Amino acid sequence: MSEKSRRDQRTPILLLVVFGAIASGIGIAIGLAIHWFPVQASTQAPKIDNLYDVLIIVTVPIFVLVCLIVLFSAWKFKVRPGEEMLDGPPIHGNTKLEVVWTAIPAIMLVAMCSYAYARLTNIEQAQANEMTINVTGQQFAWSYEYPQADGKSVKSDILYLPNNRPVRFSVHALDVIHDFWVPAFRMKIDAVPGITTHYRVTPDRLGTYAVVCAELCGLGHSVMRSTAKVVPPATFNAWIAKQKNPGAASAPGATTSTTGAGAPTSGAAAPAAVDAKALFSSAGCSGCHTLADAGANGAVGPNLDKTLKGKSADFIRTSIVKPDAEIAPGFQAGIMPKTFGSTLKPAEIDALVTYLGKVAGK
């Protein structure tokens, strides 16, 4: 083969290399410039984002390489006119090439897995002054329990967190598989019936953040939402103290109780202290039902303005604590949580029954 022929064969390869390098550089720059995630609200978030950046830097050139080889092969080795019925030329294996294209991806895969493992292991290490919070998922709501040193506990439908204090979540599920995820924290884990899973975060940014379910869990999956509030430590301690006092009113949007042998419960609070309209939203009802007075337009469950019209207080109460006792036409059993009888205080159930009977039952 003449020198000119060799140069002619090398030219397309060199052009591919140059074009691939340029395309990879542009792709990496774009990938790193895009803000893929919400605001960082935990000490773990920057480390997860950095891991994602490393993956972009490694994978964009691979993507470009594969695309260029496919396009080059389609152009270089396409069927010419008159060759439609011919077999392709015989191709013999190249052992060295096969070893290279097998070894390089294997090495890269092991390296990336090792890096990811080291990074994730680092952010999951136990921290001093760590607080434990029990998280429970059910169709279609999240609830949170704060164990206390005196054996009592505080429960809430809103996740309150002290800023800059490590937290270990113990995650449970009452019915099907859910996934506990606060996007701003970057960490998530499945909630599996019969199993307790765990992960750690350290919130480091004051604010209010979304809590979502990242596992398809039924018809109401899209409305399985809650709120995480990161507050100063002094504010958090004051909130805990207030919830442990049976005579204190609940924080907006939160339900509370204290449990333990012989301990009183906040259910003893006067029903007049319960804001039923706010509770309708904080307990998750507004995400599934339509109720004009509460500004709710959920469609997972029945329209309460219609289905509760003319219904008695007993019917409304039964619909809350035993939702499958009577199913509204067009819906099916198992959509509404069956745990409101235990997660809501008696005074709160009474207030909801009175409220719904007033605004929807007439």
The mean per-residue pLDDT over the stretch 98-120 comes to 91
Structural contact between residues 30 and 171, judged by C-beta atoms closer than 8 angstroms: no
Predicted pLDDT of residue 244 = 80
Q: What's the Cα-to-Cα distance from 321 to each of 258, 263, 303, 343, 360, rounded to whole Å?
A: 20, 24, 18, 10, 18
Query: What is the CB-side half-sphere exposure of residue 323 using CA atoms within 13 A?
Result: 16
> pLDDT by residue (tens digit) across 138-167?
888 899 999 988 888 888 888 999 999 999
* C-alpha span between 139 and 218 (Å, rounded): 7
Predicted pLDDT of residue 249 = 45
* C-alpha span between 156 and 256 (Å, rounded): 5
* C-alpha span between 256 and 245 (Å, rounded): 10
Here the tokens at position 32 are 């790193």
Query: What is the CB-side half-sphere exposure of residue 235 using CA atoms within 13 A?
Result: 12
> pLDDT by residue (tens digit) across 7-30?
556 677 788 888 889 999 999 999
Measured N-to-C along each axis, helices 44-76 and 95-123 cross at an angle, to the nearest 10 degrees, of 160
Confidence of residue 89 (pLDDT cuts 50, 70, 90): confident
Predicted pLDDT of residue 253 = 45
Structural contact between residues 197 and 190, judged by C-beta atoms closer than 8 angstroms: yes
* C-alpha span between 213 and 201 (Å, rounded): 17
pTM (2 decimals)?
0.67
Structural contact between residues 220 and 175, judged by C-beta atoms closer than 8 angstroms: no
Compute the mean pLDDT over every residue in the chain, rounded to the nearest whole number: 83
Dihedral through CA 294, CA 296, CA 302, CA 307, nearest 10?
A: 30
Amino acid found at 164: N
